[in-house]
Chain A
């Protein structure tokens, strides 16, 4: 892995996005629209204050997962990945470049979505607002890196799109959003601990209830560990030689 090549790859991915303003608009605006709908539906109740922060972490994760898995699959099918794998570019440069580029997008997305939730929808966060933004960014980057790892397994666009329900939906079911985790059957509670989304949701639940960044440091550390693990898996599943 060479920092200059990782940075060049990140710049190239961002340049591609710059040429596609509609995708940028979708990435940033779509979570805002969804959040706005929920705020409207539960207007006058404490639902937004309670669940808003979770959604701020959840929607970007799903959006970024989809965008990244499709983007990297496009590299495979267009032959550009084969060209790069025949070049001096390291596998880590490729995965790192994508994670870096979409990380930048994730920061913008998290700031806009959190700002929209607080100032437009009137979401009231009892805990640290800065920590909400941090967890939202980390979850969005986590979505990218999971998308990178998933697209390595997918052979076709159809498979890539279905990696999202395969990898994200089970996490959604057991993450504690539908039912508090301590009320779940023990086995499911254990399974939920193996999924990264659980820690994002847990952190956001605590932040909504008034926790500070220090209180959720453990959750944040686990998310970062999953994020790094997904980058490594994404790099390992890339093959210079293909059948």
Chain B
């Protein structure tokens, strides 16, 4: 256990990102342990998506260093080792579910039977031949997630994967994230829903481009004396203001 605690999936040092005149992230430092489900929580506009994009290597950055699995973020050799799910489902709505996954499997050089494996993981096997555009929003985001699971990446970066899903599906997805973690995958999952904190091994709380807390849920509640993460977040923000 000791060694596992030390392993680092992502190391962010002094990360600065500007968009126009606005500084989205200003010298952000954080560390994401390997083999854990880490929740990135914060309100909309906190800079969560920008941080995730920087980790995946598709964000223009203006300063600092992001190291992923021991390599600089965005390095070519990382592109098969990191799975990424964008906030909006990034799939081809005019193709069937299987056609989508087959294309992404080829791109990732994943084995051909991987398509069925990931379809089972997100429980969409019965929609394999359905055009993605005919699926509901929640089903589309699960196809998008399935595409990121192809090739079994070591690190999964998921931007609000449970948004708009019914509670049963949300529970099932969090169960899946737990199983992937048990198989050794590192997961970084963003959410603006604070009650999903209880499903994470560790929490990163963000607000206005800065890290408000980096702790387990239990530590967070103990430190703030709050009953839930939402109130802990409020307590920390007010503490910072004073």
Q: How far is the CA of A79 from the CA of B61 in the complex (A)?
A: 19
Contact of A88 among B59, B91, B107 (CB under 8 A): B107
User: Quick check: A16 and B107 within 8 Å, CB to CB?
Assistant: no
Return the contact of A241 from the options B59, B86, B99, B104 (Cβ within 8 A): B59
With known contacts A12-B99, A80-B90, A85-B58, A5–B84 Cβ distance under 8 A: no
The answer to whether B58 touches A88, judged by C-beta atoms less than 8 angstroms apart, is: no
Q: Which of the residues B19, B103, B147 comes within 8 Å of A12, measured between beta carbons?
A: B103
What is the count of residue pairs linking A and B with beta-carbon distances less than 8 angstroms?
76
Question: Which residues on the A side are within 8 Å of B198 (C-beta)?
Answer: none
Q: Interface digits, A85-115 against B, CB 8 Å rule (1 contact, 0 not)?
A: 1111100000000000000000000000000
Cα-based distance from A20 to B82 in the complex (angstroms): 33
In the bound complex, how far is the Cα of B108 from the Cα of A5, in angstroms? 9
Cα–Cα distance between A131 and B214 once the two chains are bound (Å): 68
A240 contacts across to B, CB distance below 8 A: 57-58, 74
B212 at the interface (CB under 8 A from A): no
Question: Is the CB of A214 closer than 8 A to any CB of chain B?
Answer: no
Given A78-B88, A83-B147, residue A8 in contact with residue B107 (CB < 8 A): yes
Q: A16-B94, A241-B74 are in contact. Are A87 and B108 (CB under 8 A)?
A: yes
B84 contacts A83, C-beta separation under 8 Å: yes
Mask, A210-237, CB within 8 Å of B = 1, is: 0000000000000000000000000000
Contact between A86 and B57, CB atoms less than 8 A apart: yes
A90: nearest chain-B partner, CB-CB: B76
CB distance from A123 to the nearest CB of B (A): 35
The reply to whether the CB of A82 lies closer than 8 angstroms to some CB of chain B is yes
Q: A242-B58, A243-B19 are in contact. Are A86 and B79 (CB under 8 A)?
A: yes
Query: Contact between B90 and A79 (Cβ–Cβ < 8 Å)?
Result: yes
Q: Are B106 and A4 in contact (CB under 8 A)?
A: yes
For B, the interface residue count at a CB cutoff of 8 angstroms equals: 32
Q: Does A184 contact B (CB under 8 A)?
A: no
Q: A87, B104: Cβ atoms under 8 Å?
A: yes
Residue in chain B with minimal CB distance to A89? B107
Q: Confirm or deny: A15 has a beta carbon within 8 angstroms of a beta carbon on chain B.
A: yes
Are B58 and A86 neighbours in the complex by a CB distance under 8 Å? yes
Q: Is there a chain B Cβ closer than 8 Å to A26's Cβ?
A: no
Find residues 1-33 in chain A having any chain B CB closer than 8 Å to their own CB.
4-5, 8-9, 11-12, 15-16, 19-20
Distance to closest chain A CB from B21 (angstroms): 12
Q: Tell whether, in the assembled complex, residue B95 and residue A12 are in contact, meaning their CB atoms are under 8 Å apart.
A: yes
Which residues of the partner chain B approach A82 to less than 8 Å between Cβ atoms? 58, 86, 90
Instruction: Say how far A105's CB is from chain B's closest CB, in angstroms.
Output: 15
Q: Let me know if B92 is at the binding interface, CB within 8 A.
A: yes
Give the CA-CA distance A88 to B80 in the complex, in Å. Answer: 6
Is the pair B92, A80 in contact by a Cβ cutoff of 8 Å?
Answer: yes
| Chain A residues, Cβ within 8 Å of B60 | 241-243
Question: Within the complex, what minimum Cβ distance (angstroms) separates B100 from chain A?
Answer: 9
Question: With A15-B95, A242-B60 as given contacts, are A88 and B86 in contact (CB-CB < 8 Å)?
Answer: no
B56 is an interface residue with CB less than 8 A from chain A: yes
Q: Is B223 an interface residue (CB 8 A)?
A: no
**Which of chain B's residues have a CB closer than 8 A to the CB of A34?**
none
Determine whether the beta carbon of B74 is less than 8 Å from that of A8: no
Nearest-neighbour CB distance to chain A for B60, whole angstroms, equals 5
Chain B residue with the shortest CB-CB distance to A93? B107
Tell me which residues across on chain B come within 8 A of A88, comparing CB atoms: 76, 79-80, 107-109
A84 at the interface (CB under 8 A from B): yes
For the A-B complex with A9-B103, A88-B109, A241-B61 known, give 10 more contacts whose Cβ atoms are closer than 8 Å.
A5-B106, A12-B99, A19-B94, A19-B95, A83-B84, A86-B79, A86-B82, A87-B107, A88-B79, A89-B107
In the assembled complex, 29 residue pairs joining A and B whose CB atoms fall closer than 8 Å, in A order, are A5-B106, A8-B103, A8-B106, A9-B107, A12-B92, A12-B95, A16-B92, A16-B94, A19-B95, A19-B131, A78-B88, A79-B87, A79-B89, A80-B92, A82-B58, A82-B86, A83-B84, A83-B90, A84-B107, A85-B58, A86-B56, A86-B79, A86-B84, A88-B76, A88-B79, A89-B107, A240-B57, A240-B74, A242-B58
